Amino acid sequence: MAALQGRRALVTGAAKGIGAAIARRLAADGAAVILADLDGDGAAALADEIGGTAVTLDVTDNAAVQAAIAAAGTLDILVNNAGVDQHAFFTATAPQDWQRLLAVNLLSVLATCHAALPAMQAAGHGRIVNIASEAGRQGSRGGSIYAAAKGGVIAFTKSIARENARYGITANCVAPGPVDTPLVRAGIAASGEKLLKAMQGLTLVGRLGRPEEVAAAVAYLSSDDAAFVTGEVLGVSGGMGMGG
């Protein structure tokens, strides 16, 4: 039997990149997957491919998040993957930049968990997996607000793990390092191969990660095999996080 057979999962930012890989893996493991993304067409196309359902969702709209979670019904698995980044030194950023990055990367995680947890508590079971980043553990040169948001995700995840263990709910983070996604490839195309080499050099294994490798970690934390794992940060970073 597939490891997640009969489980209902919602993945944010599921239309492409890491989110798409997560949606594919959870579906392959037997879960009924709801793909939520601002790109509703992209989410719908992938949902058709994997036999899931799609919802167009702006994760910064709290009312829309509450409505989407309510429509999804009781979730067994919630994966918060939606995120944005901005490469700029802190003094070159503006308050509107901070607000956008915190809204997408941190506040949306609070919103989805706030909406999903009561039903999970009533059911006596749940798996929450939040996609953090090694930047949230080590900081990021040129990505201070992103790092602050992801650090907040880590602290929040540990806190809800403490609060919800008695309900049979686990909450964990996956912290990717540099991963080969369309967004990363666009940055490399714009900046040249020097950026690729620099990113590869951040890892011990000397390459970018694959979205499927992050998805495998999410699938594990979503499964019964990880029932004794909560409040943890699982680095999927090729050794980048060994110092953090």
Q: Catalytic amino acids?
A: 146
User: Token pair for residue 166?
Assistant: 């008695």
| Burial grade of 59 (CB within 10 A; 0-12, 13-18, 19 or more) | buried
Q: How far apart are CA 79 and CA 72, in angstroms?
A: 13
For 169-230, the DSSP string reads EEEEEEEE-SB--HHHHHHHHHH-HHHHHHHHHTSSSSS-B-HHHHHHHHHHHHSGGGTT--
